[in-house]
Amino acid sequence: MKNRFGVARCCCVSYCEDCCNGNAPTEWDVEILLTDGQCDTCDEYLGGVFTLARSGPEICNWSFWRNEPSWTQDCETDYLRYGYIAYNQPMDLEVRCVNETQYQVTFTLRIETRYNTGVEYDDNGDPRQTRFFKGSIYAKYQTLIDYDDFICDEQTDFEIPFVSAFMTAQFTWLYEVIIPPFPPFRQWLTTLESRLFTTVPIGQQTFVIDGGLSGAPSWNWVTYPVCDLPSVVKVTAVP
């Protein structure tokens, strides 16, 4: 067995002799138990066990990435949002020395979605016509571990705890005024919303959608993250 001073080391900083104790696995299996949010296919199709391969020559980084045109996944089984798909899902695992005695183990996950035409709801349950929707969730899991307690290729179901998540949504919504006998007044307005979370599950969220300079009254958009996140992800070394 190679030790921390073995020839397989990667020197990240001056005090780091080896980011994986000289025993960096070729791959990692990462278990991500997602639950349904805006997408109702999270638990079955967007979550699960993923195999991350080493990223190029770096001994301390592994990644997995699926995106279009080779991959898309329907987000909903109904038709409230036409063509609502997940189209980009990268993930990354790093093991880095951060001081003289510890590694920092970091896993990140991003899921991006979109649709062209759909419906969103306000806090009264009333529908709002929407289009050109783009949504995302970016999650970070991270922990510190002593060198002697983390030999990469011996890890099985090692738990990395949740640290933070960033949710974004961008879409246009229809502002409509109907005052008979005048013709209806219609205007498409754009909104960009974001929110940071430090605890899970995230659950239902309400955003105030501002009409801005158009004079349209604001409304409360009720939504969920693309997928709700677990409190930990589990990683297992694949030699």
Residue 22 has a pLDDT of: 66
Q: What average pLDDT does the segment 3-19 reach?
A: 45
Q: Which residues contact 213 (CB under 8 A, 6 or more apart)?
A: none
E runs forming strands in the chain? 27-32, 35-36, 48-54, 61-67, 73-74, 81-82, 85-97, 102-122, 127-146, 158-177, 185-197, 205-209, 219-223, 227-228, 232-238
Categorize the per-residue pLDDT at 8 as very low, low, confident or very high, splitting at 50, 70 and 90. Answer: very low
Please tell me the least confidently modeled range out of 48-57, 185-194, 215-224: 48-57
Label residue 38 by pLDDT band (50, 70, 90). Answer: very high
Question: What is the gyration radius of the CA atoms in the chain, in angstroms?
Answer: 22
* Average of per-residue pLDDT across 175-200: 89
Report domain extents, the chain: 27-238
**Closest Cα partner for 204 from 123, 106, 107, 105?**
123
pLDDT at position 17 over 70: no
Instruction: For 86-139, write each residue's pLDDT tens digit.
Output: 999 999 999 988 888 889 999 999 999 999 999 999 999 999 999 999 999 999
Give residue 7's pLDDT: 36
For position 162, what pLDDT does the model report?
98
Q: What's the confidence (pLDDT) of residue 224?
A: 97
pLDDT confidence band for 3 (50 / 70 / 90): very low
**Percentage of the chain with pLDDT > 90?**
70
The pLDDT, as a whole number, for residue 153 is 87
Q: Which tens digit of pLDDT belongs to each residue from 160-182?
A: 999 999 999 999 999 987 777 87
